[in-house]
C-alpha cells in the first residue's frame, strides 16, 4: 500500500528534473558515503563473524585463530545451548504478544479517540525512551521487589505468586522485555491505524455490522501492516536481549544473548560467533516465514 501511494509523487519528482542522465549519477554520489559506511561496518563485520564462526575453536586471542571450516562449532553451539535458544524465542514471543495486547488499545485510542491530544500522547509514548534504557530496567527491580508494590498488592488480594517472588523469575524478565520494546509496537501500529479512512468503518456500521464485527472485518485487517511491523520490531530486539535477564532475572532465565556475551568475554570467539550466526539465521528464517504468512511482503 505504501509503495502505491509513494509512486506517483516519486514520478513527479523525476519529471521535474531537467536532465535525467546526470541526475542518476547524483543519486549514486549521494548514496555512496553512507553505503560505504554500512558496507564497511555492517556487511564486512557480518562476513567476519561468519568466518570467525568457522575458525578452529582451540585458538585463543594470544595464539591467534586458524581458519578450519569447522562446522562443528555450529553443532556444538546448538547442542550446548538449545535450552537458551528456545527460552529466548519463547520469552521474545511472549513479550511480543503482551506488547501487542497492550500496544493495540493504546495506538487505537491515540489514532481514533485522542483528537487534538494526538501529538501530545505520541510524545508521551516515546518520552520514557529518553531516560536511559538501563536505568528504566533497573527501576523494575524496585517495582517487582519482594517487599515492593506489586508483590504486596498480589499478597493483599491473596493471589498466588509462584515461589513467592517476582524478581529473579521469568515473570520479571518478560515484564522487562515487554516494557522495553512496547514503544516499538505502538508507533507502527499507530502509523497504520491513523491512515485508515474513517468512512470505511462508518460504512461497516451502516451495513449493520456491530462495533466488534466492524473492528474485526475492517479496522483489524487494514491495520495488519502495523501489526506485522510492530511485532517484528519487538520480537527481534527481544530475542537478542541480555540486559533484562541480567538485571531482573536469575541464572534460570539465561537467554541466548547472555551466552553470546559470556563467550565473547571469555575469549571463545569461534563458539560465540557460531551462536551469534545461529541467532541471526533463526531470526531471518522466522521473519521471512512470518511475512509470507501475513501476506505483507511489500512491507519493506
Partner 1 sequence: MNAALVRTGRWITEHLILFVALMVLLYLFLPIFVVVLMSFDDTADLGYQFSGFTWANWTDPCAPFGLCSALTTSLQIGLLATIGATVLGTLMAFALVRHRFRGRGMANVGIFLPMASPEIVLGSSLLALFVSAGFSGQLGFATILVAHIMFTLSFVVVTVKARLVGLDGRLEQAAMDLYANEWQTFWRITFPLVFPGILGAALLAFSLSFDDYIVTSFTAGQTETFPLFVWGSARREIPPQINVIGTVMFLISVLLVVALELWRRRGQRPAA
Residues 109-148 close enough to bind partner 1 by CB under 8 A: 109-110, 113, 119, 121, 123-143, 145
Q: Which residues pair with 67 in a beta bridge?
A: 55
Largest CA distance in the chain: 76
Residues 155-174 that bind partner 1 (CB under 8 A): none
By CB under 8 A, tell whether 33 contacts partner 1: yes
Does residue 287 bind partner 1 (CB under 8 A)? yes
Whose CA is closest to 253, among 73, 88, 48, 31? Answer: 88
Give whichever of 156 and 208 is closer to partner 1, judged by the CB atom: 208
Please pick, from the candidates 48, 83, 153, 266, the single residue that binds partner 1 as defined by CB under 8 A: 48
Q: Is 51 in the site for partner 1 (CB under 8 A)?
A: yes
Compare residues 30 and 154 and give the one whose CB is closer to partner 1.
30
Alpha carbon distance 9, 15 (integer Å): 10
Which residues, 188 to 227, sit near partner 1 by CB under 8 A? Answer: 210-212
**Least distance to partner 1 from the beta carbon of 258, Å?**
10
Asked whether position 13 contacts partner 1 by CB under 8 A, the answer is yes
- In this chain, which of 102, 196, 224, 286 binds partner 1, going by CB under 8 A? 102
C-alpha cell at 245: 535477564
Q: Does 289 bind partner 1 (CB under 8 A)?
A: no
- Which residues is 64 bridged to in the sheet? 60
Cross-strand pairs, 55: 67
The residue assigned the cell 509523487 is 9
Count interface residues toward partner 1 (CB under 8 A): 94
- Binding partner 1 (rule: CB under 8 A), the pick from 95, 172, 182, 227 is 182
- List, in order, residues 6 or more apart from 197 with CB less than 8 Å away: none
132: left (phi over 0), alpha (psi -120 to 50) or beta: beta
Minimum gap (Å) between residue 276 Cβ and partner 1? 5
For the bound state, the minimum distance from the C-beta of residue 211 to partner 1, rounded and expressed in Å, comes to: 5
Alpha-carbon distances of 104 from 70, 71, 169, 188, rounded to whole Å: 46, 43, 26, 10
Do residues 176 and 182 make contact, with C-beta atoms less than 8 angstroms apart?
Answer: no
Q: Residue 47, SS3? A: helix
Tell which positions 238-277 bind partner 1, by CB under 8 A.
239-243, 246-247, 257, 260-261, 264, 269, 272-273, 276
Identified binder of partner 1 from the candidate list 1, 44, 220, 285, rule CB under 8 A: 44
65 binds partner 1 (CB under 8 A): yes
d(CA 6, CA 46): 32
> In angstroms, rounded to a whole number, what is the distance separating the alpha carbons of residues 121 and 124?
5
Shortest CB 108 distance to partner 1, Å:
6
Q: Which one, 72 or 240, has the nearer CB to partner 1? A: 240
**Is residue 24 at the binding interface for partner 1, with CB under 8 A as the rule?**
yes
Question: Sign of the C-alpha dihedral, residues 289, 295, 296, 300?
Answer: positive
In the complex, the smallest distance separating the C-beta of residue 160 from partner 1, rounded to whole angstroms, is: 22
Q: How far is the CB of 212 from partner 1 (least distance, A)?
A: 7
Amino acid at each position: 500500500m505504501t509503495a502505491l501511494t509513494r509512486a506517483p509523487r516519486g514520478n513527479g519528482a523525476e519529471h521535474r528534473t531537467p536532465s535525467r542522465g546526470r541526475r542518476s549519477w547524483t543519486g549514486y554520489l549521494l548514496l555512496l558515503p553512507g553505503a560505504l559506511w554500512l558496507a564497511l561496518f555492517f556487511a564486512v563485520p557480518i562476513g567476519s563473524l561468519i568466518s570467525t564462526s568457522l575458525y578452529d575453536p582451540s585458538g585463543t586471542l594470544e595464539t591467534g585463530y586458524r581458519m578450519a571450516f569447522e562446522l562443528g562449532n555450529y553443532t556444538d553451539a546448538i547442542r550446548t545451548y538449545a535450552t537458551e535458544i528456545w527460552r529466548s524465542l519463547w520469552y521474545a514471543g511472549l513479550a511480543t504478544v503482551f506488547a501487542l495486547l497492550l500496544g493495540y488499545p493504546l495506538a487505537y485510542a491515540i489514532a481514533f479517540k485522542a483528537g487534538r491530544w494526538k501529538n501530545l500522547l505520541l510524545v508521551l509514548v516515546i518520552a520514557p525512551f529518553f531516560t536511559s534504557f538501563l536505568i528504566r530496567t533497573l527501576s523494575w527491580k524496585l517495582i517487582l521487589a519482594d517487599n515492593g508494590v506489586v508483590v504486596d498488592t498480589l499478597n493483599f488480594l491473596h493471589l498466588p505468586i509462584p515461589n513467592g517472588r517476582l524478581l529473579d523469575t521469568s515473570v520479571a524478565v518478560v515484564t522487562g522485555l515487554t516494557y522495553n520494546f512496547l514503544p516499538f509496537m505502538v508507533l507502527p501500529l499507530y502509523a497504520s491505524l491513523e491512515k485508515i479512512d474513517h468512512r470505511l468503518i462508518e460504512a461497516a456500521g451502516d451495513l449493520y455490522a456491530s462495533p466488534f464485527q466492524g473492528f474485526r472485518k475492517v479496522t483489524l485487517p487494514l491495520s495488519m501492516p502495523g501489526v506485522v511491523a510492530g511485532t517484528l520490531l519487538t520480537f527481534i530486539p527481544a530475542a537478542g536481549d541480555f540486559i533484562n535477564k541480567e538485571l531482573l532475572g536469575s541464572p534460570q532465565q539465561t537467554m541466548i544473548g547472555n551466552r553470546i556475551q559470556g563467550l565473547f568475554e571469555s575469549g571463545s570467539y569461534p563458539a560465540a560467533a557460531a551462536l551469534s550466526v545461529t541467532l541471526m539465521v533463526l531470526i531471518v528464517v522466522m521473519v521471512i516465514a512470518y511475512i509470507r504468512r501475513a501476506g505483507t511482503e511489500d512491507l519493506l
